[in-house]
Structure 1
Amino acid sequence: MKILAIETSCEHATIALLVDDTLVERVLEGHSNHSERLLPTLRDLLAEAAIPLHALDAVAFGAGPGAFTGLRLACGVAQGLGMGAGVGVAPVCSLDALAMQGTGDAVFVATDARMGETYSAAYRIEAGIPAPLSQPVCRPPEMLELPPEGKWFALGSAFQAYRDRIPAGLFDRLTTIEDRAVPRAGDVARIAAAMAARGVLVAPELAVPLYVRDKVALTTAERLARGGRA
């Protein structure tokens, strides 16, 4: 299985090439020029592995939720590469990819969605792949909640950005908090390989980002209501 993966849902962008059990990952330094460096770095990665584009089994991308610009970039490039290679595309939820870094079978992910909100989802890990217990949600940190029972391994930037706003009782049910963990292209590739094995890839033209939040800016009244400035 040969999977090329892109993850640009946050400022820590990465790309990866998974060939069977061998994974090579590259970091795109400097979030301001991801659009300039993405394609050349992808070409270099394929050239170093001596794998032509048409030899891929799938092109994968972190579909979000995350930064809108980064999601559109990853989706557009994945669509173009998928069409050029004549292969399907795997849109992978970026929270699913982040959950791959958890330990144990119960993982909770919460990332900083900006605008005073979080993206979150809870997972059971089945055969090494996160199985979401519900759809990702966008909500204020005060409204973060865990499934009814058990202890959970937690990851994500929300625990660093909004630690004082997250309900204290939630922390009592967390075994570990990795608040600097970010989604990685290598994990996007591993999830995509499982998707390809199940035959659930999509045609490149049907691949879309997963925004979760439709609104990208607050009105002045909304900013003031959240304690911001006019």
Structure 2
Amino acid sequence: MTQTVLLALDTSTEFCSVALLCAPVDAAGQAAAEPRLWVRHEQTGAVSSTRLLPAIGELFAEAGLTLADCDAIAFGSGPGSFTGLRTATGVAQGLAFGLNLPVVPVSTLLVCAESARLRDPSATRVLAALDARMDEIYWADYAWDDAQREWRTVQTASLDAPERLVLPEAPFTLAGNAAAAFGARLPAVAAARTVDGEALPHAAPLAHAALRALRAGRTVRAEQAAPEYVRDKVAQTTVERVAEKAEKAAKAEQAERDARLAQSVGDDVPEAAAKAKGAARGEGRQ
């Protein structure tokens, strides 16, 4: 009996999440037993890049394996933190390129759906919604196909205001942290069959989803791996930040001048307005 070894990485949030999955297969290449899983999931904030490689090394050591035993590298492709997405993508690319391995990109929203189903097998219709900051949400709609043993995407990853999220027509689980972030502003909170705020991006459900994708041949070459930002742009360039700061300063200065002018005119405003109106009618001419 052989085994499929898959390494899964996610740094789309403030967590550095790594999982090593070993799935036994029989001579025909079919699953022979439940996969074994080793996991590191640590809150690292903005410095996931410094923890990611050491965590990978620790998992291989625990499993008694080496990178050379690996069959594929999976990563959370987004949406999520721009810096975090680039970190996971870069490490996945580097390892896969060096080992000549396929890469499995997996949407972080699909990972939320997978997490909800693993926690509750009845969660077969999942609306995944994550706080995207800037008063918006990332969301997608998934339906589990039991015959195919795979998720079907009803609505691809989208970016919207909380109120514009489209509700599924069937009973659904709301997965992700958007419910906690927006509360009643999110119509799905009241409409959902259940709300699972713990179903978040995590390397363990990512590894399970990636294993199915690997077996189905849904992989890319290392150089083709790319983040799925969904939001095209949230970060400003240095020039844009300087320009915005200058514009705000100019507006503040103008507001201050207007305030001083209004104060200096004071009670004379009505009289000045009356004089101006009279002048317009030709009053007071000699």
Query: Is 153-162 or 42-51 further displaced after alignment?
Result: 42-51
In the alignment, which of 177, 188, 211 is matched to residue 193 of structure 1?
Answer: 211
Aligned residues of 2:115 and 2:200 also touching (Cα < 8 A) = no
Whether 2:15 is the aligned partner of 1:15: answer no
In the other structure, the counterpart of 1:175 is: 193
Q: Structure 1: 5+ residue runs without aligned partners? A: 221-229
Bigger fraction of residues in helix: 2
Equivalent residues of 1:160, 1:180 under 8 A apart: no
How do 1:107-122 residues align onto structure 2 when only pairs under 5 Å count?
Answer: 107-122=126-141
How many angstroms does 1:155 deviate by? 0.9
CA distance in 1, matches of 2:106, 2:177: 19
Displacement over 4 Å in runs of 4+: 217-220
Q: 1:6 maps to which residue?
A: 9
- TM-score when normalising by structure 1: 0.89
Q: Secondary structure at the match of 2:193?
A: strand
Structure 1 counterpart of 2:225? 207
Give the Å deviation of 1:101.
Answer: 2.1
Q: Report the counterpart of residue 151 of structure 2 in structure 1.
A: 130
1:4 aligned counterpart, secondary structure: strand
Q: 2:182 aligns with which of 156, 162, 176?
A: 162
Q: CA deviation at 1:171?
A: 3.5
Q: State the alpha-carbon separation in 1 of the partners of residues 193 and 208 from structure 2.
A: 25
Where does residue 92 of structure 1 map in the other structure? Answer: 106
The CA distance in 2 between the partners of 1:180 and 1:99, in whole Å, is: 11
User: Is the Cα–Cα contact under 8 Å of residues 100 and 129 in structure 1 kept in the other structure?
Assistant: no
How big is the shift at 1:29?
3.0
AA matched with 2:150: I
Which one of 26, 29, 45 corresponds to residue 31 of structure 1? 45
**How far did residue 13 of structure 1 move?**
2.6
Name the larger-Rg structure.
Answer: 2
TM-score of the two chains, using structure 2 as the length reference: 0.72
Q: 2:166 matched to which residue of 1?
A: 145
> Structure 2: how far apart are the matches of 1:30 and 1:178?
23
2: CA distance, partners of 1:116 / 1:171: 17
Q: State, as a whole percentage, how many aligned pairs show the same letter.
A: 39
Deviations 1:116-136 (A, max 9, x none): 100001111124533211211
- Distance of 2:68 and 2:185 partners within structure 1: 48
TM-fit CA distance, 1:217: 4.2
Using the TM superposition, give the Cα deviation of residue 44 of structure 1 relative to its aligned residue in structure 2, in angstroms.
1.6
1-structure distance, mates of 2:227, 2:87: 10
Residue 78 of structure 2 is aligned to residue 61 of structure 1: no
For the 8 Å contact 2:77–2:108, the answer to whether it is kept is yes
Q: Which runs of 5+ in 2 are unaligned?
A: 24-34, 242-251, 253-286
SS in 2 for 1:48: helix
Q: Which moved more, 1:16-25 or 1:96-105?
A: 96-105
Residue equivalent to 1:226: none
What's the C-alpha RMSD, in Å, of the aligned pairs? Answer: 2.0
Distance of 2:115 and 2:97 partners within structure 1: 31
Conserved? CA contact 2:38–2:63, under 8 Å: no
Q: Distance in 2 between matches of 1:185 and 1:194?
A: 14
SS at match of 1:38: helix
Deviation at 1:27, TM superposition (A): 1.3
Deviation at 1:196, TM superposition (A): 1.1
For 2:196 and 2:102, how far apart are their aligned partners in 1? 33
Partner amino acid, structure 1, of 2:209: I
Give the number of equivalent residue pairs. Answer: 219
